[in-house]
Structure 1
Amino acid sequence: MPFSTSDGAALWTTTTGSASSLPPVVILHGGPGLWDDYAVLAEMLDDLTVVHRFDQRGCGRSGPSELQSVRRTAQDIDELREYFGHERIVVLGHSFGATLALAYAGWHGDRTAGVVYVGGVGIGDWRTPERAERARRMTPAQVARLDELGEKRGRTAEEELEFRVLAWFPDYADQSMAMTWARRSAAVELPINFAANRELGQDVSRWPEGYLAGLAAGLSAPVTFVHGAGDPRSVVNVRDLASHTPRHTFHLIPDAGHSPWLERPELFREVLREAVQGC
């Protein structure tokens, strides 16, 4: 179902599940600059409540947009909430979407029934340990090839696939399956919006020190933090953010990486459903 924002950006959306006494869920994808690939998460919740998914502006199946900011994307979420006729929503964000979910809740607290923060980066210097762990999971040849492809403009379709696989396989805890899962995600025939990735990343980096922690501290809605123990993004940074959040629960998923629903589906499903029912 297409939706047009107040400034004319066309967003791809899809809805599953049925309305119930539980608040509706809006799933926020990561990247930034990627697309929604979370049908599996919606299926875990469809029997509980209605679930909305969408591609963020300029990304995936949505229309182009030169305007990229976290604040504007949060406004898009709120316009979608109003369009779908909901007073309050649960925002379920993965990776960059986790940061977006918490920011939305901080800026639109009266419209937020709950936050599910999955595989986020927390606060503080998360990049240094993440880069070190990624390098540990790759061979020197793989690191060199990823750097080579990352610098190349006009990659062929085969090179783009190789680039994505090399960039994404270290995200998984089970390295025996990592290439298979990464290739499955990489094979989606949608372009990565690298401009959105850069601009949204820079937008977050401009936030003053302590800003996100301050948003978390002011939340009245419950927040569920979910993190894979094998995610290269350090759990320490996420625990630091959680420590500022008044009403929170924290779930560290063992033997799982950045996408814990793939590596520990039953446990993740239990945690996710508990989080939504708790709202």
Structure 2
Amino acid sequence: MTVTVAEGVDLWTSSGPPAASGAAMVLVHGGPGLWDYLAPVAGLADDLVVTHRFDQRGCGHSSGPVPSMTDLLDDLEALRVHWGHERWIVLGHSFGATVGLAYAARFPDSVQGLVHCSGVGPGTSWKTDHRAASAARLTAWQRMRRDLLGQLEHRTWAEEVEWRALSWLPDFADPDRASAWAHEDARVHLTINWDANRALNAEVDGEPESLQRDRCRAVRCPTLVIHGDGDPRPTWSAAEVADLVPDAELVVIPGAGHDPWRERPEEFRAHLRAFVSGLS
């Protein structure tokens, strides 16, 4: 179903069945500029809480102009009000972890708990390690092909799938299954909103690092920072979030990449359910 928020923007949403606990969890996808892909994660806890997923404005199946971070936070709060939850658990993945943390800092009375999954901490210094780790997981030919396709002004669908797969392949720690997972994601027939990607990345990267640290310190809810040690985004950056947020626990899952629920499903499921159960 769609939910209309500010400026007449229609957000695509999907909700699970009600939970006996009455608790709720919203899942915030990454990108920026992508779409919801977190149905498998919602399914790990939808017997404990009612789960809500959505496409961010201007992305996936949702309408709207290029958003700012303020827009994304306001949309989250509008969805909470629409669904009638006094408070809810916020699970953000990748860039969605940045959104979720900012939401928890701005709307502390709305957030029961925060799951910061496969995200990064303040500043941009993590990007150097990320680029190096990602490059190391591609052959020289794959890097050349990825860069060549990325420079094309227009790509055929086959070229788009190839480029996405080469770009996302390094996110997986398992070399035997990385290509299959990357191609599975790449074949989703939705358009990446590059204007949103550029605008939101520029906004976050342009913030003073001191402001980002203060935002972490402003989060008052229990927080689970969960990260795969095989994620090319460095673990030390996620650990910094756990150090700064007052009530945070860091869980590092061995052998997991950027999507830990895929590569280490049992470990991820156990940690997520333990955290959610402790809140609800």
* Equivalent pair of 1:23/1:113 in contact (CA under 8 Å): no
Deviation at 1:216, TM superposition (A): 1.3
Moved more, 65-74 or 32-41: 65-74
Question: Using the alignment, how far apart are the partners of 2:246 and 2:138 within structure 1?
Answer: 38
TM-score (norm. length: structure 2):
0.97
C-alpha deviations, 1:246-277, integer Å up to 9, x for none? 10111101111000000000110011111212
The residue that corresponds to 2:77 in the other structure is 78
The superposition leaves residues 174-202 of structure 1 with CA deviations (integer Å, 9 ceiling, x where unpaired) of 01100000011111111111111111101
Structure 2 residues without counterparts, runs of 5 or longer: none
Structure-to-structure mapping, 1:36-185, within 5 angstroms: 36-63=36-63, 65-124=64-123, 125-185=125-185
Q: CA deviation at 1:17?
A: 2.9
Q: Tell me, yes or no, if the aligned pair for 1:22 and 1:277 is still in contact at 8 Å.
A: no
Aligned residues: 278
Q: Following the alignment from structure 2 to structure 1, what is the Cα–Cα distance between the partners of residues 189 and 66? A: 24
How far apart are the structure 2 equivalents of 1:20 and 1:210?
41
1:13 aligns with 2:41: no
Q: Deviation of residue 121 (structure 1)?
A: 1.6
Deviations 1:108-166 (A, max 9, x none): 01111010000002223110000001111111111111111111111000000000000
3-state SS of the aligned residue for 1:113? strand
Secondary structure of the corresponding residue to residue 44 of structure 1: coil
Deviations 1:8-61 (A, max 9, x none): 111000000313335300000000010001111111111101000000000011
Contact 1:17 1:45 survives alignment (8 Å): no
Residue pair 2:101, 2:216 contacting (<8 A) in 1 also:
yes
Q: TM-score, normalised by structure 1?
A: 0.97
Partner of residue 244, structure 2:
244
User: CA separation in 1, counterparts of 2:122 and 2:178?
Assistant: 27
Q: Which amino acid aligns with 1:82?
A: V
User: What 5-or-longer segments of structure 1 have no aligned partner?
Assistant: none
Runs of 4+ in 1 over 2 A off after TM superposition: 19-23
Q: Secondary structure at the match of 1:246?
A: coil
Offset, 1:203: 1.0
RMSD: 1.0
Other-structure match for 1:219: 219
SS in 2 for 1:175: coil
Partners of 1:22 and 1:209 lie apart in 2 by 37
- 2: CA distance between counterparts of 1:104 and 1:98? 10
